[in-house]
A and B are shown apart, each in its own frame.
Chain A
Amino acid sequence: MSQWRPQTDLERLLDALAAELMAASDDDVRRASGPRGIAAAADEVRRVIDGVLGDPAEADAPRGVDAGLPPVAFLREHRARQH
């Protein structure tokens, strides 16, 4: 009889549960979360995303291109010059 390896079971289970979450339909999400729950969770995640990519609301101010700026800011300013 083979020995129980709980970590192997856990890995398989978490992979399967992650797949279930990814397969959840929008209706599943709505039923599980409710409109307020979705809005609140989405806002939380958007804040995390903005923490990496920056706030989209800041992306439109045209300025001169400065290669010394951090890369994403440089990219944004270059884009602004194209318009």
Chain B
Amino acid sequence: MAPARTYQNKNWGRVRGGSRGAYISLVERFTERSGRQIVTVDNTTVDVARAIHALSSADLVRLKALARLWTRGQDGLAWSDVLHEAIARALGGARRWPPGVPIVAFLSGIMRSICEDQWRRDRREGRVLAREEDVAELGGADPAADPERALAAAQALAAVNELFAGDAMALKVIAGLADGLSPLEICRFYGLSERDYDTTRRRMRRALLRRGLIWSET
């Protein structure tokens, strides 16, 4: 029947692929219709591939900055490897693309998950070890918490603070975000106007983007 095939062919016409992209195999199936072989592909997977290829240069910069953000402090885990794996998982169907979620946000969520898994793996395999004196320096940190993880998190927080060291307002916003405060609560608690808050966030975004482009690989 022509209508269904016409619709699918529109999708195929926009899918680009090479021999290394074996990740679509999970959602392909073969059917016989009127004695002729037809290939059908899960529309979600096709949509993911199409959306990735349609990303603008600015989206690609955002994607790289996000990959760098999630992999910061992860020794041996390059941003490009994490992004590669995230795309593979999205295409392979391991993670479904929820309706209404932008593709960049979807991929960012997968990268976050990959980095979290990597952290757990490193810890299981003993690649993450904290020195006693470093853990002791944490002072008020929850003693029930994993000391290695607490130390790494404290160091990562310090690194983010350092990024905004020259910007007192950004440091206030950072502290508020880390405490889980809403924008309104941050403004009230730190005495910021709505305008201050918005301009600070804009400075922070640009600093993060710049950092995303120049952060070292490790």
Residue positions of A touching B, CB distance < 8 A: 3-7, 9-10, 12-18, 20-24, 26, 28-33, 37-39, 41-42, 44-46, 48-56, 58-59, 65, 67, 69-76, 78-79, 82
Chain B's interface size range is 35 or more
Bound complex: CA A47 to CA B181 (Å): 38
B: residues with CB less than 8 A from A are 9, 12-13, 15-25, 28, 30, 37, 39, 41, 49, 52-53, 56-58, 60-66, 69-70, 80, 83-84, 87-88, 91, 102, 104-105, 108, 112, 138-146, 149-150, 152-154, 156-157, 160, 174, 177-180, 201-202, 204-210, 212-213
A49 cross-chain contacts in B, Cβ below 8 A:
52-53, 87
Which 9 residue pairs are nearest across A and B when measured between Cβ atoms?
A54-B18, A72-B17, A3-B142, A32-B209, A6-B153, A72-B21, A7-B153, A16-B177, A42-B57
Task: Using A12-B180, A75-B39, A76-B15 as known contacts, list a sample of 5 further A-B pairs with CB atoms less than 8 Å apart, ordered by residue number in A.
Answer: A3-B142, A7-B150, A17-B160, A59-B18, A72-B24
Say whether B210 contacts A5, CB under 8 Å: no
A21 and B20 form a contact (CB under 8 A): no
Residues of A within 8 A of B21 (CB): 52-54, 70-72
